[in-house]
Chain A
């Protein structure tokens, strides 16, 4: 379509290229088993990245998501293991709290007009701190319902497994795509990221949308916490440290402009899978170490941010030439 979507196409190209390289070196990687594992292993990251995509599209940022995931795992574990609650009830409570938490941050961001990064930073401290306050121990969850959920999977042709949490991530992405591109809320999110003043003048309900965006991000962070606890069968207050950075990286590598207004939810999916792919490659290789993930992700981040900046500068320059009074 336009040069603004170039980063997304670049992401796709990088993904195809990277997958090609992987398959060339390790033919085993071309299997539904690896694909299924990619989805399962990155389920929580993908789910939280959908929320982050909306936040970044609107021109904001949410640093609290990693801490909210950690808090949610602890809360669920405590509710189930200490208080004997049914997991479903625990999930509902955790999601209600995380959604309210996000909405509250949205309220502060909009009505006090404070930069999102400061507000969500306070949110990160608060959520992580609350998790610590509940307990600093890692609490195992053993509940037959959990075991049942973890055992659910769809067999893919070729022997791969689409687990419950992997499938949930795919569903969340589908939901995100619909929300972004086929609802008024979605168009408001893009409008906010494009130009807040114009959006306000054009009748976009700025307050409602801002609160909604952060509530959504909080909800999805909570859901990612649920998935994380299913994935690890435990609640630990130090889990998901630094996940906010991985998430932001996935969104940006997926082609979303960090300053907002341009990007695709589907791009974030590719961004998440690229990160997963790097990790999988490292596992297959066996000699490389895990830190290469961070370095490669950092390099990709650098490349994408610079690419986007150059595109913006170029289009500005074009417009400047056009707009020059004659």
Chain B
């Protein structure tokens, strides 16, 4: 590992209104290494990538490429400098041919027209380097995602050629395809490229990377040699708790044995989530722990009827019910605070009052309108109860802070007197004060006899409110911790475990 640093970023700072996305982060890639960049959502990975590729301008900090300082104007400029990026989703144009994707904007010309034959010959030669032998005249969309990723990589390397940044390239690949991709990456590494690799699959990190950098809450946690970093330590770096300090215990020692219960059995979704069983009693909080992409949100979507389970049954207090849509779920007294508040939660242009009354109104039916006075009263009640900070209940909800928006969505469900609430990352992107209030609220609701399912990547939080913790890994519910077993340490160990379940 004596290779020189190829790309270095030092003391990068970047703030958006209200919060620091990057707070003095150092990062470097060497020639001929694969460097994994890890962190949960909101850790600052994508902001760092955007700074390196010129999508965002850092507030301060220095970026050096091969020893000389650079100021990246935009992605095109980054490509010209030698930094190529391949994104997980939006990368190429599926409706163009493979050759066109490789050469758009720089197609070879003959007599002023695009020389398709030469272009395809060049494309074949280029892809031959990657052991890909496909019809380059066919549309990109006719190939598997893996091939599309490889084409994107080939394009990025061909245009840039010194640093290659891969943003979750494996998220939609199967095991065989991942192997194919890794073969290519190793070959590129041996050619002297510096490769930055973002993923949330720990197995893959250990399979391919030479070094690992972990970010958390916009700060650098550390950069380590992969070979000398144990798994559990890596998880603790990512989740921000050391094993030694992890002594918190579950808040309840005994399981409440209420007869009021919601039981999901054999629930699963083709390819994304292995079938699982789960019974949630009134008055308990089931925490869901697992890394990003382990099937946490998929579990919530399935329970709420957004995605339809392939098989499986649900019973409430022993009676079988059908959940085929969110409407069914709402009618049964379920509520969901989704992970992406802006896209799936708030109705931005509508007022706080209307946002709070919405679910209750939807359940009452359109013809039984709640009067504006009732709505206002309801809104005021919850604004007071949840301490929602807004100057006016008529204010558009999009003008509120993240924490208060989250409380509005919670209020929307509490107004329906639900029996079961699913909270997906309820504290993400929320300031510290509101954070504590929401945790307190979860505990209070549980005491009042509500059943809750809470998904969170904040382990301390999960420990603080859960009566049971479900552990998810790679789309499988692999184990459960109960009562006194629950601690940040035991959760981390369960997440990091190589094989099999805990228990």
| A and B in direct contact, judged by CB atoms within 8 A | yes
User: Which B255-271 residues have C-beta < 8 A from chain A?
Assistant: 269-271
Q: Would you call B93 an interface residue if the criterion is a C-beta within 8 Å of the partner chain's C-beta atoms?
A: yes
Chain B 271-309 interface residues, beta-carbon cutoff 8 Å to A: 271-272, 293, 295, 298
Q: Could you tell me if B94 and A326 are in contact, using CB atoms closer than 8 angstroms?
A: no
- Tally A residues with Cβ within 8 Å of B: 32
Q: Is A193 an interface residue (CB 8 A)?
A: yes
Known A322-B145, A325-B293; judge A4-B271 contact (CB<8 A).
no
Report the separation of the CA atoms of residues A4 and B95 in the bound assembly, to the nearest whole angstrom: 9
Given A182-B113, A261-B95, A2 and B139 touching (CB < 8 A)?
Answer: yes
> Chain B 73-112, CB within 8 Å of chain A: the 1/0 string?
0011001000000000011111110001100110100000
Complex partner residue of B104 from A178, A197, A204, CB under 8 angstroms: A204
CB-CB < 8 A to B2: which residues of A? none
The answer to whether B113 and A198 touch across the interface, beta carbons within 8 angstroms, is: no
A204–B105 touching, CB < 8 Å: yes
Rounded to whole angstroms, the CA-CA distance of A199 and B92 in the bound complex is 8
Known A2-B139, A315-B141: A195·B93 in contact at CB below 8 Å: yes
A112 proximal to B (CB < 8 A): no
Q: Which residue of B lies closest to A319 (CB)?
A: B145
Inter-chain contacts of A197 with B (CB < 8 A): 90
* A226 touches B (CB below 8 Å): no
CB within 8 Å: A-B pair count: 94
B100 and A187 form a contact (CB under 8 A) = yes
- Does A148 sit within 8 A of B, measured CB to CB? no
Complex Cα spacing A186 to B96, Å:
11
- Per-position binary interface string of chain B over residues 139-152, scored 1 when its CB falls under 8 Å from any chain A CB and 0 otherwise: 10110110000000
From known contacts A1-B139, A4-B139, A201-B75, infer whether A326 and B95 are also in contact, taking CB-CB under 8 Å: no
Q: Tell me whether A190 and B114 are in contact (CB under 8 A).
A: no
A2 close to B113 (CB less than 8 A)? no
Contact (Cβ within 8 A) A326 B474:
yes
Contact B113 A178 (CB under 8 A): yes
Taken together as a complex, chains A and B put the C-alpha atoms of A132 and B90 apart, in Å, by 47
Q: Closest CB-CB distance, B298 to chain A, in whole Å?
A: 8
- Asked if B95 contacts A203 (CB within 8 A), the reply is no
If A203-B105, A326-B174 touch, whether A198 touches B91 (CB-CB below 8 Å) is yes
Complex-state Cα separation, A203 to B298, whole angstroms: 35
- The 8 Å CB contact of B93, one of A4, A190, A321, is A190
Residue B138 is within 8 A (CB to CB) of chain A in the complex: yes
Tier of interface size on chain B: 35 or more
A262 within 8 A of B: yes
Interface centre among B105, B107, B293 (most CB of A within 10 A): B105
B113/A325 in contact, CB under 8 A: no
Check A2 against B142 for contact (C-beta < 8 Å): yes
| Residues on the B chain within 8 Å of A184, using CB | 104-105, 107, 114
**From A183, A193, A195, A323, contact of B145 by CB (8 A):** A323
B80 to chain A, nearest CB (A): 10
Closest to A262 in B: B95
A323 and chain B: residue at smallest CB distance: B172
Q: How far is the CB of B270 from chain A (nearest CB, A)?
A: 7
Find chain B residues with CB under 8 A from A186 CB.
Answer: 114
Within 8 A of A (CB), among B43-82: 75-76, 79
A322 near B114 with CB under 8 A, answer no
Q: Check: A295 CB closer than 8 A to any chain B CB.
A: no
Docked Cα-Cα span, A265 to B75, in Å, equals 33
Q: Are B104 and A202 in contact (CB under 8 A)?
A: yes
Contacts of B269 in A (CB 8 A): 324
Chain A residues contacting B270 (CB-CB under 8 Å) are 321, 324
B76 engages A187 (CB within 8 Å): no
Question: Would you call A194 an interface residue if the criterion is a C-beta within 8 Å of the partner chain's C-beta atoms?
Answer: yes
B436 to chain A, nearest CB (A): 32
In the complex, given contacts A187-B100, A261-B93, what are 17 additional A-B residue pairs having Cβ atoms less than 8 angstroms apart? A1-B138, A2-B138, A2-B142, A178-B113, A182-B113, A184-B105, A184-B114, A187-B104, A188-B105, A197-B90, A201-B90, A204-B104, A262-B95, A321-B270, A324-B272, A325-B293, A326-B175
25 A-B pairs with CB atoms under 8 Å apart are: A1-B138, A2-B139, A182-B116, A184-B114, A187-B114, A188-B104, A188-B105, A190-B100, A201-B75, A202-B101, A202-B104, A203-B79, A203-B104, A204-B104, A204-B105, A261-B95, A262-B95, A319-B145, A321-B270, A322-B172, A324-B172, A324-B272, A325-B272, A326-B474, A326-B475
**A interface, CB within 8 angstroms of B:** 1-2, 4, 178, 182-184, 186-188, 190-191, 193-195, 197-199, 201-204, 261-262, 315, 319, 321-326
